[in-house]
Amino acid sequence: MQAIAIDGYGGLDKLRLRELPLPEPKADEVRIRIRAAGVGIWDAKQRTGAFPPEHEAFPMVVGAECSGTVDAVGDNVHAPLHEGDEVYTYFYGDQGAYAQYVCVKAEDVALKPKNLSFIEAAAVPVDGITAHQALVDDLQVAAGQTVLIAGASGGVGTMAVQIAAKTLKAGVIATAGKTNLDYVRQLGAGDVVDYTAGDFVAGVKRIAPAGVDAALDCVGKDDNAKMTIAAVRDGGRLAELVGEEVPAERGIRIAHIESEPSAKRLDTLRTFFENGTLRVEIAQTFPLAEARKAQEAIETGHTRGKIVLVVD
């Protein structure tokens, strides 16, 4: 099979198109013929060695999410997964999703939403699971509460605004750049703040003077989480995804999100997509052979939705 693999950690030049053996599924795995693979900043961090797999071995195929068709099933895999099923998955493994085939534990694989293309489905697993876990488990957002989504137009932010507003029935304040304000409104944000216009915390406080009940920082860089906490009320909650640990203050509970693969969450998300509650925004697609360009776009900063590799 063809795959994008690295022979050591480093820069974009480490990503190379390789011919690798077709993987064989273990007893608890399914083999997926990949049609599309999501691209995230975590993939770039895996390439640099910041997020190494548990079992380090080279050549290493990067990538943590994909959509495709079940091609083979292990001896201990039973319903609901069968050969020919269209699926999507977020997984940790010795080899990743930038490839034509991958073997994944069946417990991490779910049937993909019927109304999504393979490209759209590949954009969902990591961002959707991360947003759902952060809002439901870590922030415990409830109907009627006010939640701030900082960096709302990116992959996780796009999912988080919709989940908070449309499934949890919370009031959403979203920060985004000027060109994306209408976009995050369309996703469900009741109020928007242009973070490029100056002090976004002051903008949030004009809407919620006492502070928001909960905040999800999807930016992380430039001390964004440290600024976001200033917009949270005393005794509120903050979840941050990719930044440094933020010291607690004013009784605010802080969670550093490390999302976990979950077929159960993917099943929940599938229901939301199939009933029209959620939508996917694709920022850009690249063929598998252009994985360098895809990761370069991630590292230099794209402003809306998800980047996806088209494998087949």
pLDDT (tens place) for every residue of the chain, 312 residues total: 999 999 999 999 999 999 999 999 999 999 999 999 999 989 999 999 998 888 889 999 999 999 999 999 999 998 789 999 999 999 998 899 999 999 999 999 999 999 999 999 999 999 999 999 999 999 999 999 999 999 999 999 999 999 999 999 999 999 999 999 999 999 999 999 999 888 899 999 999 999 999 999 998 665 778 889 999 999 999 998 866 677 888 999 999 888 999 999 999 999 999 999 999 999 999 999 999 999 999 988 766 899 999 997
Q: 2-124+280-310: which CATH topology?
A: Quinone Oxidoreductase; Chain A, domain 1 (3.90.180)
pLDDT confidence of residue 244: 64
pLDDT for position 93: 86
The segment(s) of the chain belonging to CATH 3.90.180.10 are 2-124+280-310
The CA-atom distances, in angstroms, between 169 and each of 135, 141, 149, 212, 228 are 12, 9, 14, 15, 22
Among residues 164, 162, 175, which one has the least CA distance to residue 140? Answer: 164
List the structure tokens of 300: 């230099």
Q: How far apart are CA 123 and CA 133, in angstroms?
A: 17
> What is the third-level CATH fold of 127-256?
Rossmann fold (3.40.50)
Quote the CA–CA distance of 18 and 61 in Å, as a whole number: 9
Look up residue 75 and give its two tokens: 């001896």
User: What are phi and psi for residue 206, nearest 5 degrees?
Assistant: -65, -30
Residues 123, 135: Cα–Cα separation, whole Å: 19
- Kindly tell me the sign of the dihedral angle through the C-alpha atoms of 136, 139, 145, 147: negative
Q: What is the largest CA-CA distance in the chain?
A: 59
- Token duo for residue 71: 């091609």
The confidence score (pLDDT) of residue 243 equals 64
pTM of the model: 0.95
- CATH 3.40.50.720 domain locations along the chain: 127-256
> Can you give the C-alpha Rg of the chain in angstroms?
19
Q: Which residues contact 137 (CB under 8 A, 6 or more apart)?
A: none
DSSP structure class, residue 164: I
Contacts for 17 with CB less than 8 Å, ≥ 6 apart: 2, 3, 4, 288, 289, 291
Cα–Cα distance for residue pair 304/312, rounded to 1 Å: 24
